[in-house]
Amino acid sequence: MAAPQDVRPVAGATRVVQAPVAAAGVLVKAGAVTAPGKTLKLGSKGSAVKWLQQRLKNLRYLPGKVDGRYGGTTLAAVWAFQKVNGIKPSSTIGKRTWAALENPKTPKVLVPNGKPSRAEVNLSKQIMVLYVDDQVKLITHISSGSGVAYCETAVWQGKSQRFCGSATTPTGNFRTTWRASGWHRSYLGQLYNPIFFNGGIAFHGALSVPLYPASHGCVRLPMNVAEVLPGLLAKGVPVHVRGRFSR
């Protein structure tokens, strides 16, 4: 598991002190962490938002810039954190979320004997956890296949074609294969920085990553996560997909 970090002031600068991690991913606290406790809502600004962003970043979530502005990128990281900690996802940062930020849980390991570097997709919680060298590298909110059958008409390979299928993200064990940089056009839409792992199913950035499964089968990621994932997830890395989303 990755070692969460606490930020401590040092002679007017900021020094990052890494906390030790015990076996089985149990966090060992290097010192007390006290959250601001101020209720925050989407659009909030200020030092409490900055604290939130830095804490999420230290815990391996990706809230975007630590700029004290609570926008959509930070919201996606908040959702991921809340889901890992058993809190109903919400844009509001209240007592339960602040308390969890002081004493965070680690994500449930889906494949205890998995390879040191792997991606685990939890369809039940709609999160993805990336492990690199047996440490948590990132945790992110996702949106997987909606489970709804579809038929769509699209111009593909120069002609109008009809595509039908079931919008599911199959469970199982896979490996990352090919990828594309930037926007990649598929017959079902545009994928940002896609990394394929099961035929035409990929991790990819999307402008819409709602709190419910909404894709044709791919694993949608917030755009800022899709920006950095290609540099962290190599070719041939195991991808384990588990669970089932209950509406």
Q: Which of 141, 216, 218, 240 is catalytic?
A: 218
User: Where does the pLDDT of residue 187 fall: very low under 50, low under 70, confident under 90, or very high at 90 and above?
Assistant: confident
- Helix 47-58, helix 95-102: angle, nearest 10: 50
Q: Tell whether the model's pLDDT for residue 164 goes beyond 80.
A: no
The candidate with the shortest Cα–Cα distance to 87, out of 104, 74, 68, 70, is 104
Beta carbons of 91 and 106 less than 8 angstroms apart: no
Q: For the chain, percent helix, then strand, then coil, each to nearest 5?
A: 20, 35, 45
Q: Tell whether the model's pLDDT for residue 59 goes beyond 70.
A: yes
Place of tokens 């030790």: 20
Average pLDDT of 8-28?
Answer: 36
Q: CA 116, CA 119: separation in Å to the nearest integer?
A: 10
Q: What is the DSSP letter of 82?
A: H
Q: Tell whether the model's pLDDT for residue 195 goes beyond 50.
A: yes
Concerning whether 204 is annotated as a catalytic residue, the answer is: yes
Give the pTM.
0.84
- Tens of pLDDT, residues 91-136: 999 999 999 999 999 999 999 999 999 999 999 999 999 999 999 9
Q: CA 151, CA 165: separation in Å to the nearest integer?
A: 7
Count helices and strands (H / E) in the chain.
Answer: 4, 13
User: Where does the pLDDT of residue 157 fall: very low under 50, low under 70, confident under 90, or very high at 90 and above?
Assistant: low
Q: Which of 141, 204, 216, 240 is catalytic?
A: 204
Percent of residues, the chain, with pLDDT higher than 70: 85
Q: Of the given ranges (1-15, 117-131, 139-153, 169-183), which has the lowest mean pLDDT?
A: 1-15
pLDDT for res 17 = 35
**Strand, helix or coil for residue 227:** helix
pLDDT for res 151 = 73
Question: Greater confidence, 123 or 15?
Answer: 123
Instruction: Sketch out the chain's domains with CATH numbers.
Output: 5-102 (1.10.101.10), 118-242 (2.40.440.10)
Give how far Cα 9 sits from Cα of 69, 221, 239, Å: 22, 33, 39
Q: CA 157, CA 160: separation in Å to the nearest integer?
A: 8
Beta carbons of 154 and 224 less than 8 angstroms apart: no
